Every structure is written in C-alpha cells, then in structure tokens.
C-alpha cells in the first residue's frame, strides 16, 4: 500500500495551497520540492554576495492571493502579514512631475487632475467598468466547470454586457485607454500591468485582459491594491507550509523529481533524481505544462496531437530582475514632497514607450529603454536588511528569453542587461550608484534555472485569449485534470492561470478530493 494518498511535484505557493486543502480534506499528501526551501518563485532569499540582505527573488508583491484561502487556511495564525504602503506606488516622469497612487482613491483622483480634469473624472468610471467585468468573469473561474471562450462570451451576452467582454477580454490595452483618456501619463499608469509577464506590447489584442487578470483575488480587500508580505514573499509560503503541515501534509525539500511514473494510462508515482521511487495513485504537478508533460511524463505517454499542443504553448519569459543591497535608499526625483522614500516606484513614461520597448524584444534584443517596477520593501519592513540598511529589487521588461544568436546568449549579456536597468533607475534617482553595496542580476535564463520555469515565464504561458479557459494549458485537459488518469496540474500554467493567486492550487485540490469521493 502506498504511504501517501497524493504526491505534489513542486513546492511553489500553488503546490502548498493544494497540499493544505488535500490534508484538510482528509488525504495524506507529500510535497516534493527540488530546492532547499519551499515556495517555488514565492520565496525570500539573500542577495548573492550580500549576507543579511534579503529580497523576494521571484514574485515581489501580493495583490491577487485569494482572501478566502487566507481565511480558510487561517494563514494569519501561521505568520502571514500583509503590509500596505501608502502611496502604493509612485510614477515619476522625465519632466519632474509624478502621479502617486494612494490608499485613498479620492486622493489618487486629485493626482490625475493635475494632468487632466477629464481623466480624473473618467478614472472612476473606468475602474467601475473593470469591476463590472470582474463581477461577471471571476466567479466563473472558481467553479468546477471549465468554460470555453465562446461560453464566456455567451455569459456576458446573457447579462447584457457583451461589449464589456469584447473590450476587456479581446481588446488591446492601447485601444481600451485611448478611447477614454487624454494624458499619456495617466494612460501609462493605468496600462502599466497590461503586459506584465507577457510577450506582447500594449497594442496587442488581449492585453486589456492581462491588466484585468492582475485585479483578480483582491488580497487587501480592494481589487488592484497590492501589498507586501512581511519578511518578503517567502512569508506567504512559510505560512502555507505551516498550514499544510498542521493539517497533516508531509513536506520534503532537496527532492528533485526526475520523472512521473505512468503505468498504462494512469500515473502511479514519481522517481527522484536520486533513484528513489515513491508510489501513489495521485500525482499533482506544480511544474509548468511543458516541463510536466514533455520532460517528466514523456512523449511516449502522450498522443501526438496533445504533445504538439503542449510544445506550442507560448511561454517565452521577457522579464529580468536586478537585486541590490543598499547602504541607504536612493532618492527619486519626481515624488511627493512628503514621501522621501516610497516603498515602490514605477518607471514607465507612456504606452508609446512600452510599445517601443517591445519592438526591440520582438527582434530578440533587450529593450534599450526598459520599463519597470522598483521595489524597496525595506522602507516599510526592517526585517529584510541589517539595521539602517536596505534592499531594492527591479522587475524590468522586455528582456526576451530567446535572444538574437548574434548576442551570444544570456550568460554573455547578463552584466550588460543589469547595467541597462540600473542606468534607467539612476536617470530618476541620481544617487543610486552611491547607495549600492552589491548587485545580483537574474536574466530569464537565470529565472528558468533557479525556479524551474520553462523559458523563465512567470505565468507558465502567456495570459492571452488563445491560452485561456479550455485552452489552458491545452485541449485534452479540463482544469486540473489531464489526459492521464491520476495526474493533475496545480501550477500557473493550469486553468485559470498565473499570478500569486492560489486559485490553480485550490481547484486542483478540489478536483482530487471530488474524484477520490466519486463526486466528479
């Protein structure tokens, strides 16, 4: 008899969510994580060469994680704490002006009014439309049935909001904002997240949905409000691991899965790189779909059509991270006078700037003028650096995983790309280089190597219409369920998609529990 009811390949946040719910539901799961620490890309780690200086090396902030999961797993009891900076972020512009996004929406509207009276009025209407879109779509993502794009469109038509669906699901961010707002600065603020983790520019159809996707969950109780986890994003994973263990899940690190064992058409366990075999009737993969099916399962267990569909998933990562240990926080020009050191700064002058950056990436070249978020969580969380010292991490685009061969690959381009990012930051914060003690650059290739994400893609596949709903990850899967009996998916590449959301892990646990009880 197998010792465990289910094996979970990968201890990322979704794998831990799945394990906690399975254990809470009466099963005995085992999480197998190849790295020495749990959390996948939701971790806090020391900056290389800077002992005592810690940053969130993967995901940097918490906005989407479902508050229902926080409550049901009692994560605050296990140490989870959300910190909300005010302002949430500041957008400085090259002309010295800025827009700060405050906790108080009325105060934010006053910021927009300095750029356009019409835009300030329209802001509330636009956010209302975003919420109306989410009100129809988001509940569909949590129920067991997996809809097709056509069924989603039909649902919007049935409630008289077909036009809303077309604009937010199929349209580009460029068109969505260009029809409503006058100021390039306001458009940049509202469209900033529309290409996060996505190999597309703001003019690409479907990018309006990417923006909306980042509004799901509402960890802080308000859609779109992002916070930081005390102690970095590893604080969330630690709380999830503690909750899973409390309910009876087993957790192993340094346990690298070499293959998922299949007998006939059913999963029957895993084999580790050490040669150890662990049997179970249920295997849940937190790995991305290409790694899961093409490497761990193997093509010999897949139909040619399904293998081809998995191989063709668009999952070229385009983000680069630069982590810095600081002796002091840099001073940014173009920030509110009363806020000398904001915890987060967003650098993006306009949507034109973003589109131009993507033009370079489409040719396999790093964007010479990248846009980015600069996270300085230590400004509000003194647990991340030695007393009086600080950390900074930049999340920058576009830096395509597949480089022009003439550039010699990412190992050759790492230093240049890091310099490019820091030079961009220094153009807004002239004393940056005086503050830096140590720097670590993480290219898309480094993200792939560290976190096991194919292509360095944080969402395990672009969040564009052709890769959503029943196309996520491919036809032949149905939510967490796969064509192989007993094999389930719980990672960002599974339906309903990526972000530090927890929804794929929760759905996978529900599918396993329902199938084990014969209630599918």
What per-residue confidence (pLDDT) applies to 340? 84
What per-residue confidence (pLDDT) applies to 221? 83
Which domains are assigned to the chain?
6-41+233-314+454-516 (3.50.50.60), 106-213 (no CATH)
Rounded percentage of the chain residues whose pLDDT exceeds 70: 99
Question: Are 9 and 285 within 8 A, CB to CB?
Answer: yes
Whether the link from the prior residue into 301 is cis, omega within 30° of 0, is: no
Nearest CA among 322, 362, 329, 279 for reference residue 435: 329
**How many residues belong to the chain?**
520
pLDDT band at 223 (very low <50, low <70, confident <90, very high): confident
4-8, 21-25, 155-159, 514-518: segment of lowest average pLDDT: 514-518
Nearest CA among 62, 57, 85 for reference residue 75: 62
* Structure confidence by residue, pLDDT tens digits, 435-453: 999 999 999 999 999 999 9
* Structure confidence by residue, pLDDT tens digits, 370-417: 999 999 999 999 999 999 999 999 999 999 999 999 999 999 999 999
Q: What is the DSSP string of 130-160?
A: HHHHHHHHHHHHHSSS---HHHHHHHHHHTT
How far is Cα 322 from Cα 307, in angstroms, rounded to an integer? Answer: 35
* Structure confidence by residue, pLDDT tens digits, 43-81: 999 999 999 999 999 999 999 999 999 999 999 999 999
Task: Tell whether the model's pLDDT for residue 519 goes beyond 70.
Answer: no
What per-residue confidence (pLDDT) applies to 173? 97
What per-residue confidence (pLDDT) applies to 520? 53
What per-residue confidence (pLDDT) applies to 377? 98
Q: How many of the other CB atoms lie within 10 Å of CB of 413?
A: 21
What per-residue confidence (pLDDT) applies to 220? 83
Is pTM, for the whole model, over 0.85?
Answer: yes
Token reading at 498: 């990526």
Token reading at 363: 């040719």
Q: What is the mean pLDDT of residues 254-280?
A: 97
What per-residue confidence (pLDDT) applies to 156? 96
Question: Which distant-in-sequence residues (6+ apart) come within 8 Å of 468 by Cβ?
Answer: 149, 209, 496, 497
Whether the link from the prior residue into 473 is cis, omega within 30° of 0, is: yes
Q: What is the mean pLDDT of the chain?
A: 96
Task: Tell whether the model's pLDDT for residue 1 goes beyond 80.
Answer: no
- DSSP state for residue 12 in the 8-state scheme: B
How far is Cα 17 from Cα 499, in angstroms, rounded to an integer? Answer: 14
Question: Are 502 and 517 within 8 A, CB to CB?
Answer: no
CA distances from 215 to 44, 212, 346, 398, 443 (A): 24, 5, 17, 22, 26
Q: Which residue has the higher pLDDT, 487 or 517?
A: 487
Q: Tell me the sheet residues that pair with 326.
A: 390, 436
CA distances from 389 to 51, 328, 383, 444 (A): 12, 6, 10, 28
Q: How many of the other CB atoms lie within 10 Å of CB of 187?
A: 25
- Longest CA–CA span in the chain (Å) reads 70
What per-residue confidence (pLDDT) applies to 222? 84
CA distances from 267 to 283, 398, 484, 508 (A): 7, 38, 7, 15
Q: What is the mean pLDDT of residues 420-429?
A: 98
How far is Cα 315 from Cα 464, in angstroms, rounded to an integer? Answer: 11
213-227, 235-249, 279-293, 420-434: segment of lowest average pLDDT: 213-227
Q: What is the DSSP string of 420-489?
A: HHHHHHHTT-TTHHHHEEEEEEE-HHHHHHHH--GGG-TTSS--SGGGSGGGSS-BTBBTTB-SSBTEEE
How far is Cα 46 from Cα 54, in angstroms, rounded to an integer? Answer: 4
């Amino acid at each position: 008899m197998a010792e465990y009811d289910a094996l979970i390949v990968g201890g990322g946040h979704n794998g831990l969510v799945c394990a906690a719910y399975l254990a809470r539901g009466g099963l005995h799961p085992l999480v197998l994580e190849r790295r020495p620490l749990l959390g996948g890309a939701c971790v806090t780690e020391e900056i290389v060469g800077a002992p005592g200086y810690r940053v969130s090396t993967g995901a940097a902030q918490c906005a989407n994680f479902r508050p229902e999961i926080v409550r049901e797993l009692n994560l605050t009891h296990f140490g989870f704490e959300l910190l909300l900076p005010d302002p949430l972020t500041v957008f400085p512009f090259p002309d010295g002006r800025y827009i700060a996004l405050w906790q108080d929406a009325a105060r934010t509207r006053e910021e927009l009014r300095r750029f356009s009276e019409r835009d300030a009025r329209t802001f509330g209407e636009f956010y209302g439309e975003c919420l109306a879109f989410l009100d129809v779509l988001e509940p569909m993502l949590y129920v067991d049935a997996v809809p097709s794009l056509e069924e989603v469109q039909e649902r919007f038509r049935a409630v008289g909001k077909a036009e809303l669906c077309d604009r937010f699901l199929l349209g580009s961010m460029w068109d969505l904002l260009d029809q409503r707002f006058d100021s390039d600065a306001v458009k940049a603020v509202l469209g900033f997240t529309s290409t996060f983790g996505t190999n597309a520019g703001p003019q690409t159809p479907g990018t309006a949905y990417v923006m909306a996707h980042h509004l799901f969950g509402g960890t802080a109780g308000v859609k779109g409000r992002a916070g930081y986890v005390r102690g970095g994003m590893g604080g969330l994973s630690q709380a999830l691991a503690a909750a899973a263990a409390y309910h009876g899940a087993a957790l192993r690190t340094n346990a690298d899965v070499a293959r998922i064992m299949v007998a006939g058409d059913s999963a029957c366990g895993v084999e580790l790189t050490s040669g150890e075999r662990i049997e179970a009737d249920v295997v849940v993969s937190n790995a991305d779909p290409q790694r899961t099916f093409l490497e761990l399962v193997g093509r010999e267990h897949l139909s040619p059509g399904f293998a081809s569909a998995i191989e063709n998933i668009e999952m070229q990562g385009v983000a680069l991270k630069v982590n810095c240990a600081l002796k002091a926080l840099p001073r940014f020009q173009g920030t509110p006078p009363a806020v000398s050191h904001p915890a987060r700064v967003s650098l993006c002058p306009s949507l034109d700037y973003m589109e131009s950056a993507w033009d370079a990436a489409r040719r396999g070249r790093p964007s010479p003028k990248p846009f980015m978020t600069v996270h300085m969580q230590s400004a509000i969380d003194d647990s991340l650096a030695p007393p009086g010292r600080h950390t900074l991490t930049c999340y920058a685009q576009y830096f395509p995983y597949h480089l022009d061969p003439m550039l010699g690959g990412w190992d050759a381009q790492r230093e240049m790309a890091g310099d490019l990012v820091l030079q961009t930051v220094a153009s807004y914060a002239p004393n940056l280089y005086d503050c830096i003690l140590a720097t670590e650059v993480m290219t898309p290739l480094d993200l792939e190597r560290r976190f096991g994400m194919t292509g360095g893609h944080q969402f395990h596949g672009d969040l564009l219409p052709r890769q959503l709903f029943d196309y996520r990850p491919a036809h032949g899967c149905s939510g967490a369920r796969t064509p192989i009996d007993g094999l389930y998916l719980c990672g960002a590449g599974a339906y309903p998609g990526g972000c530090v959301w927890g929804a794929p892990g929760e759905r996978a646990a529900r599918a396993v529990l329902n199938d084990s009880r014969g209630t599918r």
